[in-house]
């Protein structure tokens, strides 16, 4: 998919518009499976929350992926996309026992991350296989908002609570078939990941009937030129070797699971917006696009970097801009960015817009959420219509106040 394809898509479907390249998603999927080709039983469960459009889920299913879900609605989306219940794992945090029971009843693998619900679920359904999510207390990422394995994290059962956990499992005679960890986004250091893996192996030894070990995700993808990224090939080589050795020691061949979101879809996404206003102030030149953090919140929420290019004037002289949005709130996409000279009406593209972009979009300022387009086998397919005013009013209930005549 080229930049001129993006321009043509914006002309056909309007802007702002999210565009996803199926070829890139497939390439990332294959890169990951190739890196772990020495593992006999490997499973990739795509993390639906990164980009949950049902056509994207179908594409991942076609590639051979399973699904990682965090809510009963994501499970339902997965089923709607044709995933079998047994190809779905449900890894919620802080949900009700009732929701977990409903998902278990659908035949989906459940993953429990706290002792309270583990005990309640185990008491009521001792026969249902359950995976447990542990917190190995390692810092795998840089930003504390997106690192979920450290000591203050709300995720997982602390490894310091293993004795209590074992007592619950023994008392309820429940069936633990998997151990899971997800140390959060952005694995920068493979040795840190391998260290966490050792903790998972140590935990696994306590359970006799395991079927799989789930190492979660957190693979880092590059957001700009020369950005660091997880060396998947190196991780594959080192972890595969260790995993195979562990299975020997354990006495059974286990399945190795990963559940990447960002790694599979981030780079496949391109968000195309149009410049409404170029505004020169005393300190900077603002380019204001027809979008805001209502459509792409990552820069404001996490300080994430999305590379920005001018699609309409790619060869123009580069100048410095602050690219901001149109909502009534500070919504900076990028400060002091070198971009080919911008004129009002130009199309700007934000790269790495596949993961946690549309799926975090809102109607703030009563704006419509953008359309989504999948570029597949050389053709653009609309996979979500742009919203309309009916969508804004949908579900709102008007009260019939008695009319007061205006003064």
Give the residue numbers marked as catalytic: 328
| Residues 37-66 close enough to bind ligand PLP by CB under 6 A | 47, 49-50
CB of 272 to ligand PLP, least distance (A): 23
For residues 46 and 286, which CB has a smaller minimum distance to ligand PLP in the complex?
A: 46
Q: Residue 195: exposed, middle, or buried by beta-carbon count in 10 A (0-12, 13-18, 19+)?
A: middle
* 322 beta partners: 286
For residues 219 and 246, which CB has a smaller minimum distance to ligand PLP in the complex?
A: 219
Give the three-state DSSP class for 274: strand
How many other CB atoms are found less than 10 A from the CB of residue 154? 10
Q: Kindly determine how many residues on this chain lie close enough to bind ligand PLP according to the rule CB under 6 A.
A: 18
For residues 257 and 347, which CB has a smaller minimum distance to ligand PLP in the complex?
A: 257
Tokens representing residue 2 in the block: 């080229």
CB of 308 to ligand PLP, least distance (A): 22
CB of 281 to ligand PLP, least distance (A): 36
Kindly write out the interface string for residues 254-273 of this chain, putting x where it contacts ligand PLP by CB under 6 A and - elsewhere. Answer: -----xxxxx----------
Query: Quick one: which of 302, 304, 303, 293 has its CA closest to 358?
Result: 293
Out of 182, 351, 367, 369, the residue judged to bind ligand PLP by CB under 6 A:
182
Out of 7, 27, 70, 382, the residue judged to bind ligand PLP by CB under 6 A:
70
Kindly write out the interface string for residues 91-130 of this chain, putting x where it contacts ligand PLP by CB under 6 A and - elsewhere. Answer: x---------------------------------------
For residues 6 and 57, which CB has a smaller minimum distance to ligand PLP in the complex?
A: 57
183 near ligand PLP, judged by CB under 6 A: no
| Residues 121-180 close enough to bind ligand PLP by CB under 6 A | none
217 near ligand PLP, judged by CB under 6 A: yes
CB of 50 to ligand PLP, least distance (A): 5
What is the DSSP-derived secondary structure letter of residue 283? S
- Whether residue 47 contacts residue 68, with contact meaning beta carbons closer than 8 Å, is answered with yes
Contacts of 153-159 with C-beta under 8 Å, sequence gap 24+, read: 153/184, 154/93, 154/94, 155/93, 155/113, 155/182, 156/113, 156/181, 156/182, 157/113, 157/114, 157/115, 157/118, 157/132, 157/133, 158/134, 159/134, 159/135, 159/199, 159/203
CA dihedral for 188, 189, 194, 196, sign (positive or negative): negative
Q: Which residues contact 390 (CB under 8 A, 6 or more apart)?
A: none
190 near ligand PLP, judged by CB under 6 A: no
Out of 25, 39, 68, 200, the residue judged to bind ligand PLP by CB under 6 A:
68
Instruction: In whole angstroms, give the CA distance from residue 89 to residue 46.
Output: 10
Kindly list the residues in this chain that would bind ligand PLP in the complex (CB under 6 A): 47, 49-50, 68, 70, 91, 182, 185, 216-219, 259-263, 355
């Amino acid at each position: 998919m080229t930049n001129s394809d993006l321009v043509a898509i914006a002309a056909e479907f309007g802007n702002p518009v999210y565009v996803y390249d199926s070829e890139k998603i497939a390439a990332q999927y294959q890169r990951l499976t190739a890196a772990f080709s020495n593992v006999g039983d490997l499973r990739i469960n795509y993390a639906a929350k990164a980009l949950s459009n049902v056509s994207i889920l179908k594409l991942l299913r076609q590639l051979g992926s399973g699904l990682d879900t965090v809510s009963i609605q994501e499970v339902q989306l997965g089923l709607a996309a044709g995933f079998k219940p047994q190809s779905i794992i449900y890894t919620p945090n802080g949900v009700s026992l009732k929701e977990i029971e409903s998902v278990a009843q659908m035949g989906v693998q459940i993953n429990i991350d706290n002792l309270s619900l583990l005990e309640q679920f185990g008491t009521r359904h001792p026969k249902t296989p359950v995976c447990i999510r542990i917190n190995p207390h390692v810092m795998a990422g840089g930003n504390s908002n997106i690192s979920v394995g450290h000591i203050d994290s709300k995720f997982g059962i602390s490894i310091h609570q293993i004795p209590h956990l074992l007592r619950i499992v023994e008392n309820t005679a429940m069936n633990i078939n998997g151990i899971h960890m997800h140390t959060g986004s952005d694995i920068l250091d493979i040795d840190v990941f391998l260290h966490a893996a050792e903790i998972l192996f140590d935990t696994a030894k306590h359970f006799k009937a395991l079927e799989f070990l789930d190492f979660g995700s957190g693979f880092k993808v590059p957001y700009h030129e020369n950005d660091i990224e997880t060396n998947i090939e190196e991780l594959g080589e080192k972890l595969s070797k260790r995993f195979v050795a562990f299975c020997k020691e354990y006495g059974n061949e286990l399945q190795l699971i990963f559940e990447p979101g960002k790694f599979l879809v981030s780079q496949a996404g391109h968000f195309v917006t149009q410049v409404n206003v170029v505004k020169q102030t005393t300190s900077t030149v603002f380019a204001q696009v027809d979008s805001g953090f209502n459509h792409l919140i990552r820069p404001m929420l996490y300080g994430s970097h999305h590379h920005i290019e001018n699609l309409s004037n790619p060869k123009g002289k580069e100048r410095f801009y602050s690219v901001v949005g149109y909502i009534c709130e500070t919504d900076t996409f990028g400060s002091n960015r070198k971009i080919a000279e911008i004129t009002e009406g130009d199309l700007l593209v934000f790269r790495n817009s596949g993961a946690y972009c549309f799926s975090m979009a809102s109607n703030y300022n009563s704006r419509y959420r953008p359309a989504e387009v999948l570029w597949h086998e050389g053709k653009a397919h609309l996979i979500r219509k742009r919203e309309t005013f009916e969508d804004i009013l949908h579900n709102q209930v008007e009260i019939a106040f008695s009319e007061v005549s205006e003064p």
